[in-house]
A = this chain, B = another copy of it.
């Protein structure tokens, strides 16, 4: 019997940010300040995705939409992966997330945040492409885009810059060079 070649999963992170790199007021707050152009871009991009990864707070905020998708919710509140409908709750300290996603044969996985999930995926080599939408605001406080344990210099390569509306929302596409 021939064994199938394992699928190479591609990981794409989508971030909507203020100019000063803030993605939310606090860990419980939704996003009501992003442009419709960013929303449209995200929805179009997610049409090609096999599964999304989110943290527990992000899942709670967008539950009604996310439970319709293949969603992996990273949480410390479970030991074994638990499946409800199309939503897996998984503790990445107990289970190897990469292997888990590979076993599902997902080709395209999207990372939707929050800040600790973006940093987790980057640290664990599950972030190949990064889309950052910068909305024209400064917040001066709130949740920073990536929240990792320590300062580290991850090199990216800019692939494109687009201005997506008149007020000056820009969309940056980066490739992870690490």
What is the interface of chain A, defined by CB distance below 8 A to chain B?
A: 17-22, 25-26, 33, 119, 122-123, 130, 132, 134, 136-142, 144-159, 161, 163, 167-170, 172, 174
Contact A145 B33 (CB under 8 A): no
Report B-chain residues with C-beta under 8 Å of the C-beta of A19: 130, 132, 145, 156, 172, 174
Identical subunits present: 2
- Nearest chain B CB to A134 CB, angstrom units: 8
Let me know if B145 and A141 touch, CB within 8 A: no
Shortest CB-to-CB span from A33 to chain B, Å, is 6
Q: A20-B21, A157-B168 are known contacts; what are 5 more A-B pairs with Cβ within 8 Å?
A: A17-B21, A19-B172, A136-B157, A136-B158, A161-B170
Tell me if B155 and A137 are in contact (CB < 8 A). yes
Bound together, the chains give a CA A50 to CA B156 distance in angstroms of: 36
CA distance A20 to B151 in the complex (A): 12
- From A177, which residue of chain B is reached at the shortest CB distance? B136
A152 to B161 Cα, complex, angstroms:
27
